[in-house]
Structure formats: structure tokens, C-alpha cells
Amino acid sequence: MLGDWMEREIREQPSILNRSATTYESNLKSFFENRSFDIVLLAARGSSDHAAQFARYLIEIHLGIPVSLAAPSVLTRYGTRVRYKNALAVGISQSGSAPDVSEMLAMMREEGHATLAITNTEGSRLTKEAEFSIMLGAGKENSVAATKTYSASLLALYQLVRVLGGELPAPEGRLPSDNWVNEALNAAQGFSGPLLRSTPTFSLARGYSFCTALETALKLMECALLPCKAYSTADFEHGPKALAGHGSAAIVYGEAAQGLADQGCRILQAPASQAPDALKPIWDIIFGQWLALCAARAHGLNPDKPDHIQKVTETL
């Protein structure tokens, strides 16, 4: 069947997450327990950049530390070194091969800052440039679409914030189960028809879940070739909402924008989990992944081997 690898890797997530939570925490404690920083710099691309968005909300809400989402081209294209004070630089790349993310970590380490690589690939360039590394341990990801490495990145970042002093509930016992994977699949299957018949399509969320809106939109574009634009629910009110008329659809995580259904926009509401708010993105993205896979199959597309894109993307 089309997308066999992607389906298998979606289904692996509960096992990977539940066995990895304690390992991530203990390894991070050995690096950062009782350390404090004045700013956190996050460097990533693609799905990893969406994981960084999740970390930004966690860090600023629960640690009160300002976060900067790095623009690597400031260094790699324009040659400028930004001055930071007592920073923790975190590079996120499932493959560990992102040259621009690696360059950022190398520069920050040269400047004397703490550096952390979060990756699924041992011995990758990212791990060589960083002082510390967390290996996701998700096993080989064969599908081009990131699924299990994305949710594992979210969990590693969640544990990082806890180790740095964030008062967040321990994830053990609060992570997705196989039953949730099947529940999310059932919801996605019910929405795939309406999704294929709608245009334009939006992906909406806010706060912790904004990363899920971003990642869902990316998955729909790369797997199913469906144009989808992600917005913060708040930003959506500042203009884009005007496009959400009859024939449009909005994939919604959390509360829908007020009056959206009255405009004629079809609301595709993600199923509600029982997870604490700060852990919901780890649950909710499983629905987004299924949505992309179901839509791809309905289109006769194979998300394991999409046209025009590849598993490892290297940019400078």
C-alpha cells in the first residue's frame, strides 16, 4: 500500500516516546542540571523548526527566559556574528546533516556558549559541532516525511525545559498510546474527503499548539500535494480570515476562530486528547500525520517517495 513506511512509523511513536522519556531526562540532567542561562537560541529547519516553535513557548512560559529562533543565514550568507550573553544554543536536526544549523552551533561554541544537538543520527556533523548531544533513538526513519523523529524531538525539548527548572508534569503516563493512534486515524479518515474537496485550506492553532498547525500544513503539502497555510489563530483574524468562505476548510487544534463556520468555512476539528496542554502537541500531531497520509493515498500518491523532495535537505 502507498505510504507503508509512513504508516509503520506513525504507529511506532507510542513505543518510542514511552521508552525514551526517562533516558532524555537523565542525559539532559547530566549536562544542564543546576545551570541557568540568560537566553536560549534555537536553530533548525523544516519540521525541526516547528519543534523549535514548541520549545519557544515552553521556555518563555515556564522559565521566563527569552528565546531567539535563529536565522542561520545571518551567519552563513552574511557572515555576521550576533552577540549573545550566557546563551544556550540548541540545534535540532533529525538527520544531523543541516550545514547551516551546524554552523550556528559551531559559532556559538567558539564564543563560549553551551551548545546542545538534538538529532536521530549518531556521529553526524551536528553532534561533532555541539558540546552535548541528545540522541532521539527513534530508529531509522525510512519515509521522507518526518513522523517519529518529530514527536521525539518535541519530547526531548519538553524534558530539556523540565531539567532547566520548568514546572511541568512528568510525561511518564501522559504520552500517546496505541489506542490514541487508532482514534486519530479514525478522525483523519473521516476528514480526508472534505479536505480534498476544499480550497483554500488553513491549519490553525495557538500557543503550545501553533507548532502542530505548522507541521500539519507542511505534511499536507509534502505528502499529499495539498496547499495549506498555517496561522496562529490570533494572526488569522488580521486579514487571512477573509479568505475562509464557502468551499474553504480549516484544520483546527483547540478553539476555532470566532464566526468562522458562519462564513461557510468547513471546520475540521482535531480530536481532543486528555493530555496536559503542554503535552498536547505530542498527541495532536499524530492526527495531522494521519490526515496527510490519508489524503496522499486518496490522491494516489506515495508519501514515502514524494517527487521533488528528499529525506535530507542541506541548506546554507
Q: Tell me, what CATH number does 34's domain have? A: 3.40.50.10490
Instruction: Please report whether residue 308 resides in a domain.
Output: no
Residue 172 confidence (pLDDT): 96
Residue 258 confidence (pLDDT): 80
Please state, in angstroms and rounded to a whole number, the distance separating the CA atoms of residues 182 and 88. Answer: 38
Angle at 302 between CA 299 and CA 306, to 5 degrees: 110
Please state, in angstroms and rounded to a whole number, the distance separating the CA atoms of residues 284 and 207. Answer: 13
Sequence-distant (6+) residues with CB within 8 A of 45 are 72, 93, 98, 100, 101, 313, 315
Residues 258 and 234 both lie in one domain: yes
Q: Give the residue from 177, 146, 164 showing the smallest Cα distance to 65.
A: 164
Residues 202 and 290 both lie in one domain: yes
Residue 256 confidence (pLDDT): 78
Residue 309 confidence (pLDDT): 59
> Across 17-99, where does the E strand assignment appear?
39-44, 67-69, 87-92
Residues 155 and 200 both lie in one domain: no
With the C-alpha atoms ordered 8, 170, 58, 121, is the resulting torsion angle positive or negative? Answer: negative
Residues 144 and 38 both lie in one domain: yes
Residues 235 and 159 both lie in one domain: no
Residue 82's DSSP bridge partners are: none
Residue 311 confidence (pLDDT): 47
Residues 122 and 205 both lie in one domain: no
Low-confidence ranges of the chain (pLDDT < 50): 311, 314
Instruction: Please report whether residue 316 resides in a domain.
Output: no
Encoded amino acid at 78, one letter: Y
Residues 201 and 287 both lie in one domain: yes
pTM: 0.95
Residues 220 and 273 both lie in one domain: yes
Tens-place pLDDT, residues 79-97: 888 899 999 999 999 888 7
Of 133, 163, 193, the residue that ends a domain is 163
Please state, in angstroms and rounded to a whole number, the distance separating the CA atoms of residues 25 and 158. Answer: 9
Residues 100 and 66 both lie in one domain: yes
Please state, in angstroms and rounded to a whole number, the distance separating the CA atoms of residues 126 and 123. Answer: 8
Count of domains forming the chain: 2
Please state, in angstroms and rounded to a whole number, the distance separating the CA atoms of residues 60 and 190. Answer: 36
Q: State the distance between the two ends of the chain, measured CA to CA, in whole angstroms.
A: 36
Residue 310 confidence (pLDDT): 55
Domain that holds residue 100: 4-163
Residue 5 confidence (pLDDT): 95
Q: What are the helix and strand counts (H, E) for the chain?
A: 11, 9
- Residue at grid coordinates 517519529: 148
Of 113, 134, 163, the residue that ends a domain is 163
Q: Which grid cell is 161? A: 525545559
Instruction: Please report whether residue 110 resides in a domain.
Output: yes
Residue 41 confidence (pLDDT): 97
Residues 129 and 259 both lie in one domain: no
